[in-house]
Amino acid sequence: MKYIKVAAAAAAIALAATACGGEKKDDAADAGKDPAQLKVWMMGDGTPEQTKFLDSVETEFKQKHPSTDVQIKYVPWPQVATTFQKAAAGGEGPDVTELGNTDVQSHIEQGSLADITDEFNGWADGKTLNKTALGNDTSDGKIYAVPWYGGVRGIWYRTDWFQELGIQQPKTWAELTAAAKKVQDAKKVPGIGIPSDQTNALLSFIWGNNGAVAVEDGNGGWKGQLDQPQAIEAVKYYAGLVSTEKVAPEKYIGKNELEGPQRDFALGKLGMYIDGSWALKEMKKVSAKNADKWGVFPIPSKTGGNAPVMAGGSDLAVWKDSKAKAAAFDYITVLNNAKNAKGWADYSGFSSMRSDVKFTDPKLEIFTQIATNTKFPPIGPGWAEFEQAKKVLPNTVKAIMQGKNADEQMKKANEQANTLLNP
Amino acid sequence: MLDTAPAVRRAPGRRTSGRARPGRRPRFGPYLLIAPTVLVIAVLMFWPMIQIGIMSFQKVGNRQLRGEPAEQVGAENFDKILNDPFFWQTFEHTVLFAVVAVTLTLVVGTLVGLLLNKLGRKMSGFVAGGVMVAWATPPVTAAIIFSWLFGTTGGLVNWFLDLLPDALVGGGWLDYNWFATPLSTYTVLTVCVVWQACPFIAVSVLAGLKSVPGELYEAARVDGSGPWRTFWSITYPMLKPIFMVLLVMSIIWDFKVFTQLFIMSGLANRDAFNLSLYAYSEAFGSLNPKLGMGSAIALVLTFILLIVTALYVRVMVRQGETR
């Protein structure tokens, strides 16, 4: 009897092992015909509201493709890199996917995205899309993705505290430090949250001092600028808020803005912190008690005026292995039509990349102003490793916050920029 | 146990066939029985390991995952990591952590095991149940719980340390950042890993203690031996085989700790990396994976563990000989 059981178990295991690879449905229908299924990957954890929104998009999409079933899969941001690796290795990729805009160039370089130049040129709405963002989706004159939404960051602050203490909106770095100090002394909470792992904020300070991470060298490569005085001064100021001015607490060293500052600000335990428009709904989830006293002002540059901010955001692309490219692009046009773009902006708090869709919430209006002055970091194929795998800037900032010599650290970071950004 | 089995199985009739050993047909039965296991292990373990071995001599990125042939780079990956001071820093972290964590795990685990042996039936069951919860907790859950316990806003540990008189522990604990420096990060990591690993040690030691004849302890007591002396003169020698196995297994476990450290400090704190995290950051850290480099690091880690495992097997075999 035991032999039979063992044999049965062995057979079951063998079956399970082969089942993984065996099932390959043949949906190689003609590209023009409606596919039975369209796989759409959305980044982030997904919420019931988002699912509801995407359901209405599907209904609209089905008017044109009645026999196609849209399958949404949410990919949490921390798992994005590994999920796309698996998609590339196993061939089980999406048809349509959302992509973080800093990742688009890496995907293009790896040959994961379909060339959609022709489809794009045939799409009337394409002309409303932000040109800078579209440029980031282009390589050698070919278009591989479509800008969907964007987000810029500002400094969240407490309007009631600023009023009570008579603080004007800081226009320079010195005023920002002074404001943080005043809040910290009067309210007994840290003045501002400066995490070491927040490159998007750090970039605004580097750019606000006319510095740069790297500049194009003219031969298609990048030349590091982190050892230049402008960048060093900016990083010294940023890290100095923690180490020398002591208006930012040490508890955010090694963290990002979501691992402390956002929660503490929402709870009224932090004076200011840097985040985007989408933070509003997240903070309301933590505590909506002071929500009407939250305000935003642009990140100041060193000597006055708004510093340029990094244009974060997401784009939409058709996966190269997709068997239904036409339907996939159709889905993008429905998802990003004027009506749905507005619905998405209203729900998510991200601004649309369409020039004909504006923010309606007055609280978020300031972000429209901030968004007039955006910049991109050196987003080449090497940026992913520089920023995600090696986290060069966060680790440099951390070292400087903990008292290491800034000039030496920045020199090292610049050497890494020179190698990693030119893979 | 196992070596007695053939003696029972051997049919009396077989003996009469005398010395015809060379001519005996090979017996497929046993091999057939282990075949499924071997097959599963081969598919799930050996094949990936071979792949890692091959990839560590190549340059592998997403393009290669898509099916493009990988470029052979010879020993370049190994050359790069072995000449990188950062690799040696992570190596140092890995070894130091293993030494401290293994020692603590064995000491605490043994103490808990001795305690369990001393307790009455009900209390022993209660305590055993309690420590088993720690063992049953998945590493991810444990890591999240510990990073909350040691967190800043609402962290229980900081709150408690702040309540204690300043003369005892110093002030300013409320905002203390446990994950800012490698030393404090590894302190939390050690507590977390030891907490999870000591139940296994405790239960194994308890099982061993149950097999030690009571007369030995009685005799020791009559001779006036204290607990310390009794442990080193009776318990330890009797349980030495168990301790050896536990030691080697703990070393293997603590060398490859990844989950807890990944959750507690993550990729933004390279100064606290260990070998596993370093390999992960190279191979899976970004959209531009360097699977070749990651494989090379993993291979070095595997090599170290193989040495330890060889030791382990030796211990096992030795134990078999003495019986």
Query: Tell me: the pLDDT tens digits for A124-143?
Result: 888 888 888 888 888 888 99
Residues of chain A in contact with residue B183, where contact means CB-CB under 8 angstroms, are none
The Cα A290–Cα B147 span in angstroms is 27
CA proximity to B173, closest of B145, B147, B150, B192: B150
| DSSP assignments along B189-226, one per residue | HHHHHHHHHHHHHHHHHHHHHHHS-HHHHHHHHHTT--
CA proximity to B283, closest of A39, A240, A137, A82: A82
Residues of chain A in contact with residue B180, where contact means CB-CB under 8 angstroms, are 250-251, 253-254, 398, 402
Put simply, the answer to whether B180 touches A254 (Cβ < 8 Å) is: yes
The answer to whether B281 and A388 have CB atoms below 8 angstroms apart is no
Q: With both helix axes pointing from N to C terminus, report the angle between A229-243 and A173-187 in degrees, rounded to the nearest 10.
A: 10
What is the radius of gyration, based on Cα positions, of chain A?
A: 24
Tell me which of B12 and A419 has the higher pLDDT.
A419
Instruction: Provide the 10 A C-beta neighbour count for residue B169.
Output: 12
Mean pLDDT (whole number) for A398-412: 92
Residues of chain B in contact with residue A200, where contact means CB-CB under 8 angstroms, are none
- Specify the pLDDT at position A192: 94
The Cα A217–Cα A203 span in angstroms is 20
Looking at chain A, how many residues does it have? Answer: 423
Residues of chain A in contact with residue B280, where contact means CB-CB under 8 angstroms, are none
The Cα B67–Cα A318 span in angstroms is 19
Cα within 13 Å of Cα(A156), Cβ side: 30
pLDDT at A181 over 90: yes
- B67 torsion bin: left (phi>0), alpha (psi -120 to 50), beta (else): left
Three-state SS sequence of B296-318: HHHHHHHHHHHHHHHHHHHHHHH
Spatial neighbors of A192 by CB under 8 A, at least 6 apart, are A155, A176, A180, A183, A241, A247, A248, A270, A271, A272, A273
- Specify the pLDDT at position A27: 42
The Cα B52–Cα B28 span in angstroms is 32
Interface check B265 vs A, CB under 8 A: yes
For chain A, give the percent of residues with pLDDT over 90. Answer: 42
Q: With both helix axes pointing from N to C terminus, report the angle between A392-401 and A406-420 in degrees, rounded to the nearest 10.
A: 170
A 275-304: CB under 8 A from B: none
Cβ burial A177-215 (10 Å sphere, 16+ → b, else e): bbbbbbbbeebebbbbbbbbbbbbbbbbbbbbbebbbbe
Put simply, the answer to whether B288 touches A423 (Cβ < 8 Å) is: yes
Q: What is the DSSP letter of A300?
A: B
Helix/strand/coil for A312 = strand
The answer to whether A10 and B38 have CB atoms below 8 angstroms apart is no
- Specify the pLDDT at position A30: 45
- A109 torsion bin: left (phi>0), alpha (psi -120 to 50), beta (else): alpha
Q: Which residues pair with A272 in a beta bridge?
A: A157
Task: Express each pLDDT in A75-121 by its tens digit.
Answer: 988 788 888 888 888 778 899 999 988 888 888 888 889 999 988 88
Q: Which two tokens stand for residue A279?
A: 């933070």
Mean pLDDT (whole number) for A363-386: 82
The Cα A217–Cα A178 span in angstroms is 39
CA-based nearest distance B113→chain A, Å: 36
Query: For chain B (length 323 residues), average pLDDT per consecutive 10?
Result: 44 48 71 92 91 89 79 86 90 93 94 89 88 90 93 87 81 84 93 93 91 87 87 88 88 90 89 91 83 90 86 75 54
Residues of chain B in contact with residue A88, where contact means CB-CB under 8 angstroms, are 62, 65-66
Q: Which two tokens stand for residue A115?
A: 């060339």
Helix/strand/coil for B323 = coil
Q: Which two tokens stand for residue B142?
A: 């444990």
pTM: 0.80
A 46-85: CB under 8 A from B: 80-82, 84-85
Q: Which of B32, B278, B287, B293 is the best residue to mutate to test the A interface, defined by the most A CB atoms within 10 Å of its own CB?
A: B287
Average pLDDT taken over every residue of chain A = 85
Put simply, the answer to whether B268 touches A394 (Cβ < 8 Å) is: yes
Strand A138-139, strand A96-100: pairing: unpaired
Burial group, residue B103, by CB count within 10 angstroms (0-12, 13-18, 19+): middle
pLDDT band (50, 70, 90) for residue A194: very high
Interface check B69 vs A, CB under 8 A: no
A 1-20: CB under 8 A from B: 6, 9-10, 13-14, 17
Instruction: Provide the 10 A C-beta neighbour count for residue A406.
Output: 20
Residues of chain A in contact with residue B40, where contact means CB-CB under 8 angstroms, are 13, 17
Q: What is the DSSP letter of A308?
A: P
Helix/strand/coil for A307 = coil
Put simply, the answer to whether B268 touches A9 (Cβ < 8 Å) is: no
**Distances, alpha carbon A17 to alpha carbons A76, A91, A171, B32, in Å:** 28, 18, 63, 18
CA proximity to B188, closest of B86, B294, B269: B269
The Cα A245–Cα A214 span in angstroms is 28
Angle at B196 between CA B193 and CA B201, to 5 degrees: 105
Put simply, the answer to whether B285 touches A255 (Cβ < 8 Å) is: no
- Specify the pLDDT at position A388: 85
Interface check A338 vs B, CB under 8 A: no
ipTM score for this prediction = 0.77
Burial group, residue A288, by CB count within 10 angstroms (0-12, 13-18, 19+): exposed
- Specify the pLDDT at position A398: 94
Helix/strand/coil for B141 = helix
Instruction: Give the distance from CA A119 to its chain's centroid.
Output: 26
The Cα A120–Cα A100 span in angstroms is 19
CA proximity to B117, closest of B103, B106, B128, B108: B128
Specify the DSSP element, H or E, that contains A220: none
Of the candidates B66, B152, B281, the beta carbon closest to that of A251 is on: B152
**Distances, alpha carbon A122 to alpha carbons A27, A338, B164, B214, in Å:** 26, 17, 70, 89
Instruction: Provide the 10 A C-beta neighbour count for residue B209.
Output: 19
**Distances, alpha carbon A103 to alpha carbons A5, A111, A351, in Å:** 51, 13, 19
The Cα B113–Cα B305 span in angstroms is 27
Task: Express each pLDDT in A86-97 by its tens digit.
Answer: 888 877 889 999
- Specify the pLDDT at position A22: 38
The Cα B164–Cα A374 span in angstroms is 49
E-strand spans in chain B?
Answer: 58-59, 71-72
The Cα A365–Cα B45 span in angstroms is 56
Residue of chain A with shortest Cα separation from B173:
A251
Put simply, the answer to whether A249 touches B267 (Cβ < 8 Å) is: no
Tell me which of A6 and A237 has the higher pLDDT.
A237
